[in-house]
Amino acid sequence: MAGPVSDERTAVVLPAEGPLAPPARQGERTLERRRRAVAYLLLTPGTLYLALFFALPLILIIYTSLKSGGLLSGGGFRFTWQWENYTDGLATYGSFYVRSVVYAGIATVACILLAYPMAYWIAFYGGRWKSALFFMILVPFFVSFVIRTVQWRFLLGDFGLIFGPLKDLGLLPQDFRVLATPLAVIAGITYNFLPFTALPLYVALDRIDRSLIEAAKDLYATKTEAFRKVVLPLSFPGLFAAVILTFVPATGDYVNSSVLGGPNTTMIGQIIQTKFLVELRYPEAAALSVVLMVGMLLIALLYAKALGTEDETLAAGAGA
């Protein structure tokens, strides 16, 4: 957010005063330099944190992904530039990546379709209850992720709370099931990631200046047009963030497919988890993780490019 804002300032000031501005005096320069130094100083804890908990593990994972050998047999791992970890991994598990991306993609779309109207309604009609209402979206998520997902097993069970009575009444065939199908996994992901979608959307919608909507109506826009031409474009930055924040972690998720899925719904996160924690095949697991990460990065970059994040549309929306 800081970027576009400061850009605006320079843009406003420069044409008016740029060429005429008197040269900064020595004192001002020192002050400016000191201010910058302080700014960098403020960055150090964050930088150290990232170096320690992000960069270092990342390097270790890449390093591990090129090792060979086994922990139990084969006398431990050795670094041997074992590229086969990648090629074999991709060949064996390619379809799991695709499935993960498809499930996460569908879930992300579902999340947006659910969260956008909710966030919109709360931001525009919540009045003084806004914060309380939004908090209600978050409340279920104070309960552990795993417990919530396990609850869904009871709800969606073949003879569970929902389908049991319906089957008893003969409204559903006895062999009807949702659990262990892609639908269950996608529904679980949708449910579990909804706050990550709702929060950025709500923030973006809530900060839209209401007078812009009045201006649109004043300029002959109907309610729908005011939404399409003003609210929607101004919520793009939030939409963008919501998609990334939902899609990326959802692709790597393994809890929903483990708990709600069946043998045919296995996602790549599950494979990685099993390889790491059950089979203890660290190099292969690391290679699969790196592939997942790089894939996600590529998708995110392509997505950003397609939407034109560099375009000022988003910057202006974010800065306004």
Partner 1 sequence: MPEVDVRLERVTKRFGEVVAVDDLSLDIAEGEFFSLLGPSGCGKTTTLRMIGGFEDPTMGTVYLGGRDVTDLPPYRRDVNTVFQSYALFPHLNVFENVAFGLRRRKVPKDEIATRVREAMRLVDLEGFEERRPAQMSGGQQQRVALARALVNRPKVLLLDEPLGALDLKLRKQMQLELKRIQQEVGITFIYVTHDQEEAMTMSNRIAVMRHGRIEQLGEPEAVYENPATEFVAGFLGASNLLEGEVKETNGSGLATVLLTAGPSVRLPVDRLPAGATGRVKVGVRPEKVSIAPEGEAGPADRNTVTGRVTMSTYIGVSHQFKVQTAGGAELTVYVQNLGAERSPAQGESVVLTWKPEHTFAVEPQEDLTSEEDEG
Provide the binding-site residues for partner 1, judged by CB under 8 A: 8, 11-12, 16, 209, 211-212, 214-222, 225, 229-230, 233-234, 312-313, 316-317, 319-320
233 φ/ψ angles, rounded to the nearest 5 degrees: -60, -35
CB of 320 to partner 1, least distance (A): 3
**Distance separating alpha carbons of residues 199 and 270, to the nearest angstrom:** 27
26's tokens: 């020595």
Q: Which is nearer to partner 1, 12 or 90 (CB)?
A: 12
CB of 204 to partner 1, least distance (A): 12
79 φ/ψ angles, rounded to the nearest 5 degrees: -80, 115
Q: Which is nearer to partner 1, 12 or 43 (CB)?
A: 12
CB of 239 to partner 1, least distance (A): 13
* Whole-Å CA distances, 131 to 60, 135, 199, 203: 42, 6, 11, 11
CB of 39 to partner 1, least distance (A): 23
Contacts of 3 by beta carbon, 8 Å cutoff, 6+ apart: 315
The end-to-end CA distance of the chain, in Å, is 10
CB of 119 to partner 1, least distance (A): 19
Q: Which is nearer to partner 1, 8 or 158 (CB)?
A: 8
Strand-pair partners of 79? 67
Strand-pair partners of 67? 79
For residue 76, give the 3-state DSSP assignment.
Answer: strand
Q: Which is nearer to partner 1, 236 or 254 (CB)?
A: 236
CB of 217 to partner 1, least distance (A): 4
**Distance separating alpha carbons of residues 105 and 15, to the nearest angstrom:** 45
* Whole-Å CA distances, 48 to 40, 42, 43, 105, 122: 12, 11, 9, 34, 38
**Distance separating alpha carbons of residues 254 and 92, to the nearest angstrom:** 18
